[in-house]
């Protein structure tokens, strides 16, 4: 069987993760890396990997089965995914939840008009967490759902801190509050405020002579980002930052506390959790696995835009239906 | 929109659970209960519910959209599901893992020949646990999977104890060993023996004058059931049994500990767990949710046998694709 030829558009942390995930799946191969930078400045981790300007992608449509677009959700993906879906079968990890319907419509139109298949908003949230919300809420219609994130790095919050005057480097961890998780597990279906669910833990390297009190105040009162949370701010040296804050862990919990039975008094609890040492590597592993599903669904004639909700689980596995039933059911 | 008309074949704990789950889903209605007992001896929980002999099911094929077969896996389902799949679209919870391929083949043949759709082996294991094994193993190909069950009642093990001379009543709880679960969570990918994963806890009401030592010995040395486990046997009175052992809790954990990244050194952990106060009520909730999926897939023309692996998650929800993307992705 021929391998699925993967193209990577965008070679940051996620793109590198996809490159590494391809190595773990022998039915996949890295066909090309596309970048907006000077291709000669990009040094792939894979010997012999080819790097091209993103502008030349349009000339390589015959060489790529699935293009995984590894840009950011704020400005890159809303433009890139619909554009590239005109040329390729594509996958992205668009994660601005509120704008998913609009993104879906744009990508669906581009993919249908050009006869391509596109999967959007894959990864773990949106992605695996969304799947678990759907399964759990469908199974337990009388219940309450909870999502906790962390402990993990929030890129958006880290960026927000870096924009404050006097901040040289910064990282923000979202920390789920254990007592809140335990309250959910008890089956009591608590109403939890934003402040009761997560803490925000900030580690900041200040510029020399910066006003630390002012930085701390600016962080803690920042609208939408920090004002609704209990936030701690820690000032550290650049050496400490390098030593302790150079990885990108993340994870979280999706929980559904439901009631069944006569009078709906029987507690049932479904919990899904991830503990990830590397968020981009894990997200990349999800994307590659869905690239397999995409190649198969495309070979069956599917076009347009789909999400994790639309894809039968069996498409994700290398095993046949027969093998899956014998080994995993 | 017209409701999906559900038939229940077999009115034990699971059948009652299905009856109660229908109440929680306003797109479902209870059309009929079929029993092998004298129908007049069956008292449904739902006022006005109609009870018929299973023999008259063949005359009611126009009244049932989905028949949920609530028999046992040992002897009932291997016969009932293929036979009833000739007449109805059916769902079962066949859970003898080793015989699933054979059961699938029999049901698939019957359903295809008669133009029906059948879902087998639904519930939580097989079912939701299987799904989680598939998703997790597809996403993290380099890793190790673990399934722990309990704390919960094993019907098979309870039955085995009841067959011992001098035993009046008995119940067996499978108990996952917390230290083993913690070892898996650590990412160390331990090799765990059967004995290291679960304890077996037995509560026995002896007949008057029974030889307790002999009962305990018979349980602990019973081949395939108890000999490979650390087993505790507790003798109690019938009153204690009634007071403390009259519910059917269960649950468990599916875990995947995987490695990603350059040199495959990054730990990633996926964990799915259920904590159920009533195993049959929860299983019934899963079956009803898949009845919705069945009705939809059948209306699209699908026939033959399918498992949870073959069914796209969106089919399980009452919400439209648009609503799902806006609210749950």
ipTM of the modeled complex: 0.96
Give the C-alpha distances (Å, rounded to integers) separating B257 from A113, B145, B197, B216. Answer: 41, 6, 16, 37
Average confidence (pLDDT) over B24-30:
98
A268/B285 CB distance under 8 A: yes
What are the tokens at A187?
């089956």
Average confidence (pLDDT) over B231-249:
96
Residue A156: what pLDDT? Answer: 87
pLDDT band, residue A78 (cuts 50/70/90): very high
Average confidence (pLDDT) over A65-91:
96
pLDDT (tens digit, 9 = 90+) per residue, B79-120? 999 999 999 999 999 999 999 999 999 999 999 999 999 999
pLDDT higher than threshold 70 for residue A14 = yes
What are the tokens at B13?
């704990």
- Is residue B146 less than 8 Å (CB to CB) from chain A? no
Nearest CA in chain A to B140: A285
- Which of A260, A274, A325 faces B104 most closely, judged by CB atoms? A325
| pLDDT > 90 fraction of chain A, expressed in percent and rounded | 97
Give the C-alpha distances (Å, rounded to integers) separating B211 from A269, B159, B168, B297. Answer: 41, 19, 12, 57
pLDDT band, residue A1 (cuts 50/70/90): low
pLDDT band, residue B156 (cuts 50/70/90): confident
Residue B313: what pLDDT? Answer: 98
- Is residue B329 less than 8 Å (CB to CB) from chain A? yes
- Is residue A263 less than 8 Å (CB to CB) from chain B? no
pLDDT higher than threshold 90 for residue B245 = yes
Nearest CA in chain B to A262: B20
Nearest-Å Rg of the Cα atoms of chain B is 22
pTM: 0.96
B20/A275 CB distance under 8 A: no
**How far is the C-alpha of B227 from the C-alpha of B320, rounded, in Å?**
51
Task: Note which residues in 179-208 of chain B have CB less than 8 A from chain A.
Answer: 185
Phi, psi of A68 (to 5 degrees): -100, 120
Give the C-alpha distances (Å, rounded to integers) separating B40 from A171, B36, B53. Answer: 69, 11, 9
- Is residue B105 less than 8 Å (CB to CB) from chain A? no
pLDDT (tens digit, 9 = 90+) per residue, B44-66? 999 999 999 999 999 999 999 99
- Which of A101, A292, A324 faces B134 most closely, judged by CB atoms? A324
| pLDDT > 70 fraction of chain A, expressed in percent and rounded | 100
Give the C-alpha distances (Å, rounded to integers) separating A263 from A142, B16, B20. Answer: 11, 13, 9
- Is residue A140 less than 8 Å (CB to CB) from chain B? yes
What are the tokens at A6?
């993967």
- Reduced to 3 states (helix: H, G, I; strand: E, B; else coil), residue B205 is strand
**How far is the C-alpha of A253 from the C-alpha of A238, rounded, in Å?**
32
Provide the shortest C-alpha distance from residue B268 to chain A (in Å): 5
| pLDDT > 70 fraction of chain B, expressed in percent and rounded | 100
pLDDT (tens digit, 9 = 90+) per residue, A28-61? 999 999 999 999 999 999 999 999 999 999 999 9
Residues of chain A in contact with residue B266, where contact means CB-CB under 8 angstroms, are 277-278, 281
Residue B78: what pLDDT? Answer: 97
**Over chain B, what is the mean pLDDT?**
97
B309/A308 CB distance under 8 A: no
DSSP-based helix, strand, coil % in chain A, nearest 5: 40, 25, 35
**How far is the C-alpha of B9 from the C-alpha of B60, rounded, in Å?**
13
Q: Beta strand pairing status for A117-119 and A90-92? A: parallel
What are the tokens at A42?
């990009």
Provide the shortest C-alpha distance from residue A88 to chain B (in Å): 23
| pLDDT > 90 fraction of chain B, expressed in percent and rounded | 97
| DSSP H helical ranges for chain B | 13-23, 76-85, 100-114, 128-139, 155-162, 178-185, 194-197, 212-220, 238-244, 279-299, 321-327
Helix-helix angle B128-139:A279-299, to 10 degrees: 100
pLDDT higher than threshold 90 for residue A209 = yes
**How far is the C-alpha of A57 from the C-alpha of A51, rounded, in Å?**
10
Task: Note which residues in 206-235 of chain A have CB less than 8 A from chain B.
Answer: none
Q: Are B73 and B94 in contact (CB under 8 A)?
A: yes
Average confidence (pLDDT) over A135-154:
97
- Reduced to 3 states (helix: H, G, I; strand: E, B; else coil), residue B318 is coil
A250-260 sheet: strands from edge to edge = A143-149, A250-260, A266-276, B266-276, B250-260, B143-149
Residue A74: what pLDDT? Answer: 87
**How far is the C-alpha of A205 from the C-alpha of A158, rounded, in Å?**
12
Question: ∠ CA B301-B305-B307 to the nearest 5 degrees?
Answer: 110
pLDDT band, residue B16 (cuts 50/70/90): very high
Average confidence (pLDDT) over A95-117:
97
pLDDT higher than threshold 90 for residue B253 = yes
Nearest CA in chain B to A280: B261
Provide the shortest C-alpha distance from residue A142 to chain B (in Å): 7
Task: Note which residues in 47-86 of chain A have CB less than 8 A from chain B.
Answer: none
- Is residue B325 less than 8 Å (CB to CB) from chain A? yes
Q: Beta strand pairing status for A198-206 and A230-235? A: parallel
Residue B74: what pLDDT? Answer: 87
Higher pLDDT, B155 or A34: A34
DSSP class per residue in A76-88: HHHHHHHHHHTTS
Average confidence (pLDDT) over A265-294:
98
Task: Classify residue A43 by its DSSP letter.
Answer: -
Residue B1: what pLDDT? Answer: 66
pLDDT band, residue B252 (cuts 50/70/90): very high
**Over chain A, what is the mean pLDDT?**
97
Q: Is the dihedral of CA A279, B263, A291, B305 positive or negative?
A: negative
What are the tokens at B270?
């996926």
pLDDT higher than threshold 70 for residue B222 = yes
**How far is the C-alpha of B183 from the C-alpha of B146, rounded, in Å?**
11
**How far is the C-alpha of A98 from the C-alpha of A153, rounded, in Å?**
21
Helix-helix angle A128-139:B279-299, to 10 degrees: 100
Q: Are B33 and B49 in contact (CB under 8 A)?
A: yes
Residue pointed to by tokens 């502008």: A55
């Amino acid at each position: 069987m021929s391998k699925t030829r993967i193209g990577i558009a965008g070679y940051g942390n996620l793109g590198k993760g996809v490159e590494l995930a391809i190595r773990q799946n022998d039915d996949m191969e890295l066909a090309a890396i596309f970048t907006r930078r000077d291709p000669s400045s990009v040094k792939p981790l894979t010997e012999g990997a080819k790097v091209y300007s993103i502008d030349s992608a349009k000339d390589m449509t015959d060489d790529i089965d699935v293009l995984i677009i590894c840009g950011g959700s704020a400005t890159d993906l809303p433009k890139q995914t619909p554009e590239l879906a005109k040329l390729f079968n594509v996958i992205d990890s668009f994660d601005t939840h509120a704008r998913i319907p609009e993104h879906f419509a744009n990508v669906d139109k581009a993919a249908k008009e050009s006869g391509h298949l596109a999967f959007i908003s894959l990864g773990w949230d949106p992605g695996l967490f969304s799947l678990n919300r759907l399964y759990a809420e469908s199974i337990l219609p009388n219940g309450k759902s909870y999502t906790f994130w962390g402990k993990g790095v929030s890129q958006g919050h880290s960026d927000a801190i870096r924009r404050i005057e006097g901040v040289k480097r910064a990282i923000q961890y979202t920390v789920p509050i254990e007592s809140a998780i335990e309250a959910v597990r008890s089956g009591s279906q608590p109403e939890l405020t934003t402040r009761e669910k997560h803490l925000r833990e900030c580690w900041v390297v200040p510029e020399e002579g910066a006003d630390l009190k002012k930085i701390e105040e600016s962080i803690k009162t920042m609208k939408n980002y920090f004002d609704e949370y209990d936030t701690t701010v820690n000032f550290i040296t650049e050496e400490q930052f390098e030593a302790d804050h150079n990885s990108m862990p993340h994870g979280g919990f999706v929980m559904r506390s439901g009631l069944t039975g006569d009078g709906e008094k029987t507690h049932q609890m479904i919990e899904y959790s991830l503990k990830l040492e590397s968020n981009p590597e894990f997200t990349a592993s999800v994307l590659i696995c869905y690239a397999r599903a995409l190649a198969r669904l495309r070979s069956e004639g599917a076009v347009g835009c789909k999400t994790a909700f639309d894809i039968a689980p069996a498409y994700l596995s290398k095993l046949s239906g027969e093998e899956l039933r014998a080994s995993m059911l």
